Amino acid sequence: MKHTDIDAFFDTLARANPQPHTELEFASVFELLCAVLLSAQATDVSVNKATQRLFLVANTPQKILVLGQDGLESYIKTIGLYHAKARHLLQTCQILLDQHHGQVPRSRKALQALPGVGRKTANVVLNVAFGEPTMAVDTHIFRVANRTGLAAGKTPLAIEQQLLQCIPERYLQHAHHWLILHGRYVCQARAPQCTRCTVANYCQTFLSQRTFRLP
């Protein structure tokens, strides 16, 4: 995608949604970390349903640890992979207490050292909680980037690196939210809603298909 088209692409998304935000529900940095950790291979809706109950009784590392494995699982058992997620969250809470005074660290290295926290999770926390211009490449961003021509790559890291280089700095703060929401509700995997897509005229796949269909 041309630089001018990239600028227009994000300008369009920004005008439609000037202040995008995660659909995960949280009231503290720790709650955000918990929610993102639990969201792997799960929908935000399912995570929110579980954490609404969980956070009422345990919303700090100390309180999560008091629940123990069985207690924690009773709150998150509706989420996929809940056995492993409960174990990782408990281990993470212990590390937060032992090494970070119970606070969520702000460095990528420290975040990724936490059990169950990969690069994508760390990027979400750094962006949403601390305002850093990171790119949390999930399945939606990976698809949208490749489909539109914003970036082309076979791995999330390759897409992340390209997007950080090509997206104008003024859009980086919110870019990953715009792309996630666009992929979730418009540029869907099986049935992209091209007829109602506000950035279709910048999308390389849409433009190539339209050209191909011309007589």
pLDDT in tens, 17-41: 999 999 999 999 999 999 999 998 8
Per-residue pLDDT, 214 = 47
Residue 215 has pLDDT above 90, yes or no: no
Split at pLDDT 50, 70, 90, the class of 49 is very high
Residue 211 has pLDDT above 60, yes or no: no
Per-residue pLDDT, 209 = 80
**Alpha carbons within 13 A on the beta-carbon side of 202:** 21
Question: Catalytic residue among 2, 70, 120, 154, which?
Answer: 120
pLDDT in tens, 138-160: 999 999 999 999 999 999 999 99
Range scoring the smallest mean pLDDT among 12-16, 38-42, 165-169, 209-213: 209-213
- Residue 182's nearest CA partner among 128, 142, 130 is 142
> Which one-letter amino acid corresponds to residue 213?
R
Question: Catalytic residue among 5, 44, 77, 138, which?
Answer: 138
Do the first three CATH levels of 3-20+135-213 and 29-128 match, i.e. the same topology? no
CA pair distance 30, 141, nearest whole angstrom: 25
Mean pLDDT computed over 103-124:
96
Fold of 3-20+135-213: Endonuclease Iii, domain 2 (1.10.1670)
Fold of 29-128: Endonuclease III; domain 1 (1.10.340)
- Give the start-to-end residue ranges of the domains of the chain: 3-20+135-213, 29-128
CA pair distance 8, 89, nearest whole angstrom: 41
Mean pLDDT of the chain: 94
Dihedral, CA atoms, 163, 185, 112, 10, nearest 10 degrees? 30
Distances (CA, A) of 165 to 50, 136, 182, 190: 37, 14, 20, 28
34-37 CB contacts, 8 Å cutoff, 24+ apart: 34/64, 34/89, 36/121, 36/124, 36/125, 37/85, 37/88, 37/89, 37/92, 37/116, 37/117, 37/121
Contact between 125 and 112 under an 8 Å Cβ cutoff? The reply is: no
- Is 120 assigned a catalytic role? yes
